[in-house]
Amino acid sequence: MSELTRIPAPDGVFPAAAYTHVVLATGRLVAISGQLALDEDGGLVGEGAPAAQARQVFENLRRCLAAAGAGFEDVVKLTYFVTDMADMPDIRAARAAHIPDDRLPAASAVQVAALVRPEFLLEVEALAVVAG
């Protein structure tokens, strides 16, 4: 496991509610491409259902991290691309199943007009750091 230090609220910065402002990491960088709500056969999971899509996206992230010898405890940054910010509570619930509140990574959330296909409601990419 890499060495991670979280700074949730640097001096003079308003405290974060659902992410950590700064994560310092020592180790080997793992970059996970944006994951979509596709099952292992390429089928869409959760058409029109943000909670189901979010659960599949986080399961795909878990599998990608494992392939790199990493886990959610090694994630230092998540980037969310969503077509509707109203879906963020469902996305946070899916994240909470994998990452406890006291280990939240840095994060960015961006609302986009569309993703690669119209049926996708979210895409999430991750950066992790594992022991060198």
pTM: 0.93
11 Cβ contact partners less than 8 Å away, ≥ 6 residues apart:
none
What are the angstrom distances between the C-alpha of 58 and each of 40, 52, 100, 103, 115? 13, 10, 14, 16, 17
Per-residue pLDDT tens listing for the chain (132 residues): 568 898 988 999 999 888 989 998 999 999 999 999 999 999 999 999 999 999 999 999 999 999 999 999 999 999 999 999 999 999 999 999 999 999 999 999 999 999 999 999 999 999 999 987
pLDDT of residue 1: 58
Structural domains in the chain plus CATH codes = 3-130 (3.30.1330.40)
